[in-house]
Amino acid sequence: MKQLSAIITFAAAAALGAACTGASAAPETEVIWSSVNLEPDSTGTSYYRQTFTVMGDLSEIDKIGFNQFARVMRMENPADTLTELVPGYYTISSSRLGREAAAGRDTVVFEILTKGRLSNICYGPDGVHAVLADGTTRPLKFTRESMLADKSRWSTSEVDNMPYGDAVFAINEALAGASEVSPYDAIPSFKSVTLTGGDTEVNPSEIEFIEAGADAKGPEWFRATVADGKIVVECAADRRGAVAARLGHLFGASKRTLPAAVIEDYPDLGYRGLMIDIARNYQTPQEINRLLDMMAAYGLNLFHFHFSDDEAWRLEIPGLPELTELASRRGYGKDESEHLFQIFCGNGNPDSKEGTPNGYFTREDFIGMLRHADSLGIRVLPEIESPGHARAAIKAMEKRYRTTGDASWRLIEDGDTSVYTSAQSFHDNVVNPALEGPYKLMKHVASALKDMYAEAGVELPAIHIGGDEVPHNSWSGTPSVQKLMKEKGFKSEKQVHAYFVEKVQDIFKEMGLKYSGWQEIAVGHDDAYNARVRDNVYGVNCWSTIGGQEGVVAEATRGGYPVVLSNVNHYYLDMLYNYHPEERGLSWGGTVDEFDALHGYPARLSPDVSKVKGVQAQVWAETIRSPKDLERILFPKLLGVAERAWNNDSTYTDADFNAVINTRELPAWDKLGLTYHVRQAGIRRQPGNESMLEMNAPYANAEIRYTLDGTDPEESSALYTAPVAIPAGATQARGRLWVNGHPSLVTILFL
């Protein structure tokens, strides 16, 4: 099996940690990482080889820590040991480190055989750091060798999903020929625009508002009259901030001349949401407030605040300091008694302020965010993940038990022998519904949330309780749950899950609160359960498209639940834009770009669109390492969701939608300093003249830079202006777009 070994270079690992955290690198030690996919073995099993090369000062290093999505991995050298501290966090220890340092040598190479196929940089290592002999940590410089250096790094003979130049060319060609963009082409598009003749100079920052009349078509309807040097808007008083945000984004803040017109608009769906996960990787209040501004600009009106999950708890709760003291901090340690183990990225230090591993919203931060959202007409829906995805809360309440002796807050019990694996490979992330601790925690947190909303002077629409992805056999060895099942006559763990949901519902109902949940709270249950719980449900996020219109959405609708379409194939924005190996994002749900989002028609995702409450986009944060990563994954995908949430039926063609983004949105984002995703350059042999290459772009103002020697194009590379002759001996062409200084990924065409 030597030919299947994976090599991990410590120098590369160090550089990766610095890239993840933004921490200053220790110049004397570097880790360089590369990978190669191996052809399937005789049993059909695939492997890939990772190479971590550690170079520099090895004298103080006891271990190398790194993060990687959980995989089956094996060290090839018997002198090396790979330890999994928690799924996704590993350390490598080796007697060779000490021997090489003692001998005055400065390089160690570690080999790891990794099961599967590496298709994407996000599945490679991250958070690389050194662990010293005294248990302290040190950032390392980490460098990834390019995934594009060799075809074997992203493909095998059986699987190759790279978007090559000719395929990209065809996509770009299909986006050509769009209609001319008018001053009133907006995203989301208006229900009607009536030109009334002539032009008028207006100041969009000085909108005159008047109360909506009896002809208003719903609470969010507005009519804007652009004439006689002013913009007059009729709308409900509580909608003024939202309408001002939309029109301000469309027209800008400076005086301009517009065709005189009357705009009339209203949304087809009342719930138009965006969920951002700050548990997996943290985002600051400043970044969230910035994104709330963008939500308002695109007519979105509900922010789903995902602040708790297995990997962290990110909101200060008075009376329970452990939730943030322990569960908002991640790093290296002997155990998780004071902080969680590092997951996804970091530099090993749980107190580091760099990057996205650590941090939380204070009570004041949250209240400020609520007020800002309210000023924009956006409701905030907080989520307390339960009964699964609760590992961070479990660890925090165990600390409370150890330090206070109060067992009433415990979420698990001693003697539990249940063996399970969650979707994220955890084995200890489910609370015990037979204990009182989970309900005490839910009530306390709900009460704290109510108090914060009251202080902010903002309505609390509901509390999302999660309810998703409870692993099979979660309570198979839990003594108190087995006793409960016997007493209640429960035949399955599904009934235990339903019992938990009902008990939480009863608590919330007594507090005057509604609740939301993922689809698992509404599907797979009997009619009696549905009748008991559905009236207090604010929304059910249906994310699965399995079964099409006869599947999850249809079942939830039949059960009488308010359905919020949250489908992975259209609205999970954390999926890859495409299968390029250097694209960030997950791929378990396929790919999602701005056009996939645009094609998420509610009537096609539900058997009865009249029973759909709304549409919601999701951004899970496993692959996000910075505000720029978050913005790049949101824009322009979020615009497709906004268009479909506001207008259920067909509006823009793909070409026209792309033209509006190119003409209006990209310049606006540049002024705001937003980071956004840029589509790739197309490359093909010229039809009828195979010795010539032609290239194209999906944007009118893009530059294409190219190379013909196998290197990646830079801003100083040759500028494409006309078809290019293929030089003798050239084996590939590479192209890259630049739009207003924003680069695309590199496109490759093998010749």
Q: Which string of DSSP letters, residue by residue, matches 599-664? A: T--HHHH-S-GGGEEEEEEEE--TT--SHHHHHHHHTTHHHHHHHHHH--S----HHHHHHHIIII
> CB of 620 within 8 A of CB of 578?
no
CA–CA separation, 677 and 662 (whole Å): 12
Supply the mean pLDDT for the chain.
Answer: 94
Q: How confident is the model at residue 591 (pLDDT cuts 50, 70, 90)?
A: very high
Give Cβ neighbours of residue 721 (< 8 Å, ≥ 6 apart): none
What's the distance, Cα to Cα, between the start and end of the chain in Å?
34
Q: Give the per-residue pLDDT at 101.
A: 85
Please work out, in degrees rounded to the nearest 5, the angle formed at the alpha carbon of residue 505 by the alpha carbons of 510 and 422: 150
CA–CA separation, 433 and 723 (whole Å): 67
CA–CA separation, 269 and 566 (whole Å): 14
Q: Locate 136 and state its tokens.
A: 């302290």
Q: How confident is the model at residue 497 (pLDDT cuts 50, 70, 90)?
A: very high
Amino acid identity for residue 516 in this structure: S
Question: What is the percent of the chain with per-residue pLDDT over 70, rounded to a whole number?
Answer: 96
CA–CA separation, 167 and 580 (whole Å): 12
Dihedral (CA of 531, 532, 538, 542) sign: negative
CB hemisphere CA count around 322 (13 angstroms): 20
Amino acid identity for residue 64 in this structure: I
> CB of 313 within 8 A of CB of 654?
no
Q: Give the per-residue pLDDT at 1.
A: 37
Q: Classify 247 as helix, strand or coil.
A: helix
Nearest one of 151, 154, 91, 152 to 121, comparing CA atoms: 154
Model pLDDT for residues 719-733, shown as the tens digit of each residue: 999 999 999 999 999
Mean pLDDT of 87-93: 96
Of the given ranges (92-106, 157-171, 340-354), which has the lowest mean pLDDT? Answer: 92-106
Q: Which residue has the tokens 């100079």?
A: 201
Model pLDDT for residues 112-156, shown as the tens digit of each residue: 999 999 989 999 999 999 999 999 999 999 999 999 999 999 999
CA–CA separation, 343 and 277 (whole Å): 15
Length of the chain: 751
Nearest one of 367, 397, 398, 383 to 314, comparing CA atoms: 383
Question: What is the percent of the chain with per-residue pLDDT over 90, rounded to a whole number?
Answer: 91
CA–CA separation, 259 and 262 (whole Å): 10
pLDDT of 239 above 90:
yes
Q: How confident is the model at residue 650 (pLDDT cuts 50, 70, 90)?
A: confident
- Which residues lie across from 10 on neighbouring strands? 53
Q: Give the per-residue pLDDT at 103.
A: 87
Nearest one of 567, 511, 505, 571 to 538, comparing CA atoms: 505
CA–CA separation, 505 and 537 (whole Å): 9
Number of Cβ within 10 Å of residue 573's Cβ equals: 27
CA–CA separation, 61 and 132 (whole Å): 5
CA–CA separation, 16 and 9 (whole Å): 11
CA–CA separation, 549 and 554 (whole Å): 6
CA–CA separation, 743 and 703 (whole Å): 9
CA–CA separation, 68 and 575 (whole Å): 18
DSSP secondary structure string for all residues of 402-468: HHH--GGG-SS-TT-------TTS-SS----TTSSHHHHHHHHHHHHHHHHHHHHT-----EEEE--
Mean pLDDT of 263-279: 98
Q: How confident is the model at residue 550 (pLDDT cuts 50, 70, 90)?
A: low
Q: Which residue has the tokens 């690198």?
A: 25
Q: Locate 287 and state its tokens.
A: 């970044």
Give Cβ neighbours of residue 457 (< 8 Å, ≥ 6 apart): 371, 374
Number of Cβ within 10 Å of residue 584's Cβ equals: 19
DSSP secondary structure string for all residues of 23-74: PPP-TTEEEEEEEEEE---TTS--EEEEEEEEEE--TTEEEEEEE-S---EE
The dihedral formed by the CA atoms of 404, 409, 412 and 415, expressed in degrees to the nearest 10: 50
Burial class (CB in 10 A: 0-12, 13-18, 19+), 368: middle
> CB of 231 within 8 A of CB of 367?
no
Q: Give the per-residue pLDDT at 548.
A: 62
Model pLDDT for residues 17-59, shown as the tens digit of each residue: 444 444 444 447 999 999 999 999 989 999 999 999 999 999 8
Number of Cβ within 10 Å of residue 254's Cβ equals: 8
* E strand or H helix at 503: helix 493-510
Q: How confident is the model at residue 253 (pLDDT cuts 50, 70, 90)?
A: confident
CA–CA separation, 86 and 421 (whole Å): 12
CA–CA separation, 32 and 109 (whole Å): 10
Is the pTM value of this prediction over 0.85? yes
> CB of 292 within 8 A of CB of 299?
no
Model pLDDT for residues 687-698, shown as the tens digit of each residue: 999 999 999 999
Please work out, in degrees rounded to the nearest 5, the angle formed at the alpha carbon of residue 516 by the alpha carbons of 513 and 521: 125
Q: How confident is the model at residue 547 (pLDDT cuts 50, 70, 90)?
A: low
3-state helix, strand and coil shares in percent for the chain, rounded to the nearest 5: 30, 25, 45
Supply φ then ψ for residue 586, to 5 degrees.
Answer: -90, 170
Q: How confident is the model at residue 549 (pLDDT cuts 50, 70, 90)?
A: low
One-letter-per-residue 3-state SS of 677-690: CCCCCEEEEECCEE
Model pLDDT for residues 305-348, shown as the tens digit of each residue: 999 999 999 999 999 999 999 999 999 999 999 999 999 999 99
Nearest one of 399, 297, 317, 409 to 362, comparing CA atoms: 317
In angstroms and rounded to an integer, the radius of gyration of the C-alpha atoms of the chain is 27
CA–CA separation, 641 and 300 (whole Å): 9
> CB of 248 within 8 A of CB of 331?
no
> CB of 592 within 8 A of CB of 555?
no
Amino acid identity for residue 164 in this structure: Y
Mean pLDDT of 432-458: 98
- Which residues lie across from 382 on neighbouring strands? 305
310: left (phi over 0), alpha (psi -120 to 50) or beta: alpha
- Which residues lie across from 233 on neighbouring strands? 209, 224
Number of Cβ within 10 Å of residue 725's Cβ equals: 12
